[in-house]
A and B are shown apart, each in its own frame.
Chain A
């Protein structure tokens, strides 16, 4: 399972629309979740709508929270998305096999069996979460909370039975012309990492859309690089009857 988790506090202002980019991600089997960090309600109506739209286009969920709730929100979102991704796959299978429209419409005993499979897969399937962090000037005071949330998420991922990794990007990129910069490649351990965001040069633009596109590309490269594609996303077709 692949997820992108976007943490932002406002509107994108350059390049391709983030909603379009997010729809691209979804088309490639990557779910996009969005957390809007709003400490003093500065996100505005337009920003809030954009955040919601990006998540909807990416098949994920969105939340507006303050920095205190960040860790818990990120952890819960990731977990819920895992369950939902599997649920959707199971739902599809159910429709094909039984002509049933939903898990809800099954009688309680059957539902119990299906949910047992969902829970088992949710715990054991391979999971990758790419965190995409808005590092525009207004986010600066929030970055320590973001770093804490990332470490907290790592802890939850480590507790899963299935292989779990995360990677971290921030945008705009550090060098001119870069839409986003990779801070941390796929890892399952942060204990040796001193600081995820070393001194960042805060720049004015917010290229959310182009940054999402770059992360999709990063996922793609990873898939080409690794031979055994089956291990990365073949779990549902293998498992679910």
Chain B
């Protein structure tokens, strides 16, 4: 039920805050979230992302979450740059007012684009970075909630940033925003209460979505609601050669087998660096390790295939 939000800012126009008077020059539309639009803007030769909300209470609720997250981060490391830069209202020429906030601009492409362009050997590393990022959020008592392909941006060398914090929810509360196909409740695998396991479940679905979105879509259409389950997803994983090496890990992530994201990240790291044992020498660049891992995985699955054929 995404209600379309008719709002636009022209390129080159200047957005001025009603309360604090800061000015931003609009460059272009970056994207559309569940509850507003995000624009790329410039102020004092620096780029920012400016989000305009359709509903003041809804947007403020998101701002509150981002503020407490910034506070937590800076109480630990005061030198960290805040994510949230400005909060204000925008007055349009017709007199209508819209709330907005300004955040750090993250340069990057979506995860799917990144893997398509740079190659899937980056997947283990990006996955690891993402898990570490989730660990940080979880340590502060938050679940990201709406983890999905569209909400992950990847910058150079597989550095990950999460965007659209509309789903960010304190542990123990009901997840504020989610997407059905990534939702633990939708797959009859647990509650919709925010905890580390909720994000890890979505992470597992993200892996499936990246490697075999076609069959995942098919599965949602074929299964009766009461038959959706991690077991069905596991069958799909085992049919997909690139996912098969991750079967054990994904199963644990989908069934709440990890105590927290840190444990999940450590286990992921062990899994993807297992190829280290296959070759000698330490001076192998990281990207080559991933290549080894993948080819080893392919070989292993080929063997398994033959075995099944017999």
Contacts and interface: CB of A to CB of B under 8 A. Distances in A.
A139 interface: no
B174 A160 contact: yes
A83 B175 CA distance: 14
Interface string B173-189: 11100001000011000
A119 B61 contact: yes
Interface residue range, chain B: 20 to 34
Contact of A72 (B1, B173, B175, B192): B1
Contacts of A115: 57, 60-61, 64
Interface residues of A, number: 30
B19 A108 contact: yes
A161 B172 contact: yes
A77 B109 CA distance: 33
Given A87-B57, A112-B63, A115-B61, A104 B97 contact: yes
Given A71-B180, A108-B19, A156 B192 contact: yes
A141 interface: no
Nearest to A77: B1
Interface string A75-116: 011000001000100000000000000011001100110011
A208 B174 CA distance: 32
A112 B99 CA distance: 12
Nearest to A119: B61
A119 B133 CA distance: 26
A103 B174 contact: no
Nearest to A109: B87
A69 B192 contact: no
A233 interface: no
A31 interface: no
A72 B89 CA distance: 30
B304 interface: no
Given A72-B1, A119-B61, A112 B191 contact: no
Contacts of B88: 108
Interface of B: 1, 19, 56-58, 60-61, 63-64, 67, 87-89, 97, 99, 172-175, 180, 185-186, 191-193, 225
Interface of A: 63, 65, 69, 71-73, 76-77, 83, 87, 103-104, 107-108, 111-112, 115-116, 118-119, 123, 148, 151-152, 155-156, 158-161
9 contacts: A65-B1, A77-B1, A104-B89, A108-B60, A115-B57, A152-B225, A155-B185, A159-B191, A161-B173
